Amino acid sequence: MQVLVENVSKHFAGAIALQNVSFEVCSGSIHGLVGENGAGKSTIGKLVGGVLQPNDGRVIYDGDDRLVSSPREAIERGIAAVQQELVLCQELTVAENICLGRESTTLGFLRNRESLREFNQLRDELGFELDGRARLRSLSIADQQQVEILKALSRNARLIVLDEPTSSLTPAETVHLHQVVKRLAKERGTTFIYVSHFLDHILSSCDAVTVLRNGKHVQTGPAKDETHASLAAAMLGRDLSDVFPPKKAPPPTSAVKLSTSELTRRRKFENINIQVKAGEIVGIAGLVGSGRSEVLRSIFGADEFQSGMVAIDGYPVGRHTPITAMRNGLAMVPESRREQGLFLEHSIAENISLINFSELRPFGIVNRGKEAEEIRKWAGRLNIKCTSTDALVSSLSGGNQQKVLFAKWLAGNPSVMLLDEPTRGVDIGAKSEIYNLIAELAARGMAILIVSSELEELVGLCHRMYIMRKGSIVGEKSADEIEIGAILRECLGVYEGDLHSKDFCNPLRLIDWRDQCVSRTMG
């Protein structure tokens, strides 16, 4: 199905979400939509899927410019949307979800066997590996997304909108989803509009990509002609080199703030020796499963280690808990803000003050005025965009949620920050703000240890880097040795002869090689 978006504008209560946006999606292609949070990409997806209607302009489907006024009408015309928050019935089976709303009946009774037969036929035709009798609640998010795709195809959808489909997936699940989408586009001619802030995924999976900025169309072109840097520059309106702040190395006389000696946790990592000086940003690179996140958790006391030592300012802290770690000046931004870092259904103020401001609560009596003043101060320092600090964290964008998580820890005035995937799930603009914050904290003398799956992030931020593989540190890189190709080779345990040297200068080839290895690791 060909889609033509022609001079489309959309307003919400006076705010302009889209302004005169035009681009074309070719039939049978995978078309990426990228932009910062608020750029209008999800709004486009909802307009195409019939969830919203434009104020001006029109969306034309295979030459038909009739308005799609609802998701039901969209389905009738062969259009389906898989939203970031899946709309499925957890207590029903896979087959029942796929046939929901059009079940076979006899004298008012459901014919579940007929639904299962229809599901099995569709599954076998497309090569999906799902059990139609399984309850949806028993499936992973990746499998549930496959159910949504099957549900769309069972309704003869020729156009499917995927809105942030990989935001909750592991690397291996992401690879599998991309394989499914590519196969459907190639073999069935299904057209996909793929909304994502993961530029790696757009580059490796899409045929074409449209960039939006501040509700306006910036460019549309073949994905093969783009790079991570060119897309980011188009999204931001400035060069990608401006995303990372200048590196300012700590003075040679800086004291060691954090160190580990022969730190070991059975079956996770062993003999880990790390040092981080005041004012230094040190990275840990490695594939999923290398033990990098587990090292941070043990340093913070969230997981117990069996042997070795953690020292702050040269003093051992012994077998400790997060509470004792915090008392010793440690803070940790965890990998998942939703599950480990924030209470999403509580306010910004409650999250920031949760573990802080004890000095404002003498004898258990809260000084509300001073506490509110401190909360506003931290919200302002981190540029958290919100109507009020009383707003629920769940109402914020991913980037602003991550800033709340940083504010929660920074309000405790730590001297060492442990950062596990500090920009996961945020757009490139919010990433730039977080990078500047990290550099500013280091410039003030804070010691920072960071784990990230994005090698570009580590290269752009770190003064030094450790490389982990299979639970051990296999290399260390100084500032002048930090380079993506060399780091990736050590992460993977391969030599230059395993790939042509030019492959290590090609971001797409690196991404493909990394994803293959991650897929094997996870599978």
Per residue of the chain (523 residues), give pLDDT as tens. Answer: 999 999 999 988 667 889 999 999 999 999 999 987 778 888 999 999 998 999 999 999 999 999 999 988 998 899 988 876 667 888 888 888 887 766 655 555 556 677 788 788 877 776 677 888 888 888 877 788 778 777 877 777 899 999 888 766 667 777 878 888 898 899 889 999 999 888 888 999 999 999 999 899 999 999 999 988 788 888 877 766 677 898 888 988 999 999 999 999 999 999 999 999 999 999 999 887 889 999 999 999 999 999 999 999 999 988 889 999 999 999 999 988 877 888 888 899 889 887 776 655 655 666 677 778 888 888 999 989 888 898 999 888 778 899 999 999 998 899 999 999 998 878 777 888 899 999 999 999 999 999 998 888 898 899 999 999 989 999 999 888 888 777 877 887 765 554 444 444 444 444 444 544 444 444 4
| 72 and 181 part of one domain | yes
d(CA 226, CA 411): 40
* CATH number of the domain where residue 185 is located: 3.40.50.300
- In a domain, residue 217? The reply is yes
Asked if 84 and 156 touch (Cβ cutoff 8 Å), the reply is no
Residue 124 pLDDT? 78
- 12 lies in the same domain as 137: yes
378 and 313 in a common domain:
no
The residue to which tokens 């409650």 are assigned: 350
* Polymer length of the chain: 523
452 plus 501 within the same structural domain: yes
Report if residue 305 sits inside a domain: yes
DSSP code per residue over 247-300: P-PPPTTPPEEEEEEEEEETTTEEEEEEEEETT-EEEEE--TTSSHHHHHHHHH
pLDDT of residue 365: 62
Residues 49 and 101 placed together within one structural domain of the fold: yes
How many other C-beta atoms are found inside a 10 Å radius of the C-beta of residue 124? 9
393 within 8 A of 344, measured Cβ to Cβ: yes
Phi, psi of 101 (to 5 degrees): 95, -10
Alpha-carbon distance values, 71 to 57, 77, 384, 408 (Å):
19, 10, 34, 40
Give domain status of residue 302, yes or no.
Answer: yes
In DSSP terms, 82 is beta-bridged to 162
User: Which domain-ending residue is among 211, 239, 267?
Assistant: 239
Q: Is residue 334 part of a domain?
A: no
Would 522 be classed as within a structural domain?
yes
Are 26 and 92 contained in the same domain?
Answer: yes
What is the distance between the alpha carbons of residues 396 and 387, in angstroms, rounded to a whole number? 10
Q: Does 378 lie in the same domain as 311?
A: no
pLDDT recorded at residue 169? 67
Inside any domain, residue 253 = yes
Which among 239, 272, 298 is the end of a domain? 239
* 378 and 353 together in one domain: yes
Angle at 500 between CA 498 and CA 504, to 5 degrees: 95
Domain containing 373 equals: 340-413
**In the 8-state DSSP scheme, what is residue 340?**
I
Domain count, the chain: 3
Q: State which of 413, 435, 460 marks the end of a domain.
A: 413
**Are residues 431 and 282 both part of a single domain?**
yes
Residue 107 falls within a domain, yes or no?
Answer: yes
Say whether both 71 and 157 belong to one domain.
Answer: yes
**Together in a domain, 217 and 275:** no
- Kindly state the tokens that stand for 178: 């991309």
Exposure string of 430-448, with b = 16+ CB inside 10 Å and e = fewer, is bbbbbbebbbebbeebbbb
Of the candidates 217, 247, 205, the one whose C-alpha atom is nearest the C-alpha of residue 32 is: 205
Contacts of 451 (CB under 8 A, 6+ apart): 283, 284, 292, 293, 295, 296, 335, 419, 420, 421
Whether the CB-CB separation of 299 and 246 falls below 8 Å is answered with: no
Q: Give the CA count within 13 Å in the CB-facing half-sphere of 328.
A: 22
Residues 306, 455 within the same domain: yes
Radius of gyration, CA atoms only, the chain: 25
Any domain includes 335: no
Q: Report residue 385: phi and psi, to 5°.
A: -85, 110
